[in-house]
Amino acid sequence: MPENKENINKKEEKNSDTKINLEEQKEKNLDDNNVIEEEISEPSFMPTFQVKAKYFPIPIIVVVILSGILAYLSYVIAGIQLEGVIFPESEYGGIGALLNGLIFISYAAITSFIIIYVIKKKGINALKYIFAFSFAFLCFFLLILYGDIILWLITRDIFENELYIIVSNIMYVCIGAFTILITYKYVKGNSFIIKNFFVLLIGLLIGAFLGMVIPPITTIIILILISIWDIYAVKSKRGPIKKMFDIFFENSPKKEKIKKLEEKVEDGDYEVEYDISSLEIGIGDLAFYSMLTSHAIIFTNNVIILIATACAVILGTGITILGLKKNKILPGLPISIFLGLGTMLLTNLIFSIL
């Protein structure tokens, strides 16, 4: 018995030494590779589409196709051709387009800083209800707009005026009930499927609407300015999205761990590599991607130009995603929008020459 006990102790001591050696080897490999992987996630109520990295083109393809169909049906088929800007391009030309773009960006900037102010005063949870109210408003009225257009296109030669009014009123009630239900589910925040669906829906509705009512030169100026604003909002210390991210970080359970990693990075000991296996694509990114592609199909009436523009947007998003390995957060618009705009203008020029 004593002999067996001694053998067991020796075995345990050997296993312990092996574990120590493995830990030392692991630390040595870490130093050699100079890499630390750390996953960064956002609160569930944030208006982002969560998707695995290998499937990131799917939400973009969906918003591009559906928003393009809605915009084309409204602008071309139904003939709803409105200029939803303060300075019509037909009257003021390029100067009017520039003024429209500056007004649009000013509104976006002011809204962003107001949201940051509300968060600081009322806390992060206030953001959930701001988003919920805004999205419910947009969902209800934009679904009514496109619902009316589609209903009219389908039934214009079938229904009498009185019957059309009855059917449209039933549709309004259904849209209202749907909006209340999906907004409630979003606020409750316990289903990524509901959240992703809601974000996708709002993104494509906004994109189709903007692509339909904003004229060509103003569209190009807005997309350029909003991309520049996105860089400032995300990368500048005073940028609203950067501030919002910092507020979330302060409330993160991983706060202390991340701070220690960042201190090591600053000392030059390590290089952080962020986990990008799961991504969050912002609702604003989806809206402006679909605004660009909706504009492409409406004003060129060319499916090939639409496809080329969409492919360029997806390529730009892929490049941005690769950059997330070395950055906590990156602006999602600049690369995708500039590639998409360039592709749209170039292909349109080629088709006009041919």
Q: Give residue 293's pLDDT.
A: 95
Which of 196, 198, 172, 173 shows the shortest CA–CA distance to 183? 198
Q: How confident is the model at residue 326 (pLDDT cuts 50, 70, 90)?
A: confident
DSSP letter string, 227-253 = HHHHHHHHHSTT-HHHHHHHHHHHT-T
Question: Would you state the structure tokens that stand for residue 78, as one six-digit string?
Answer: 């139904």
For 269-295, give one letter per residue: b (16+ CB within 10 A) or e: ebebeeebeebbbbbbbbbbbbbbbbb
pTM of this prediction? 0.83
Question: How far is residue 274's CA from residue 40's CA, in Å, rounded to a whole number?
Answer: 7
Residue with tokens 């130009």: 305
Can you give the C-alpha Rg of the chain in angstroms?
Answer: 26
User: 45-89: per-residue pLDDT in tens?
Assistant: 778 898 888 899 999 999 999 999 999 999 999 988 888 899 999
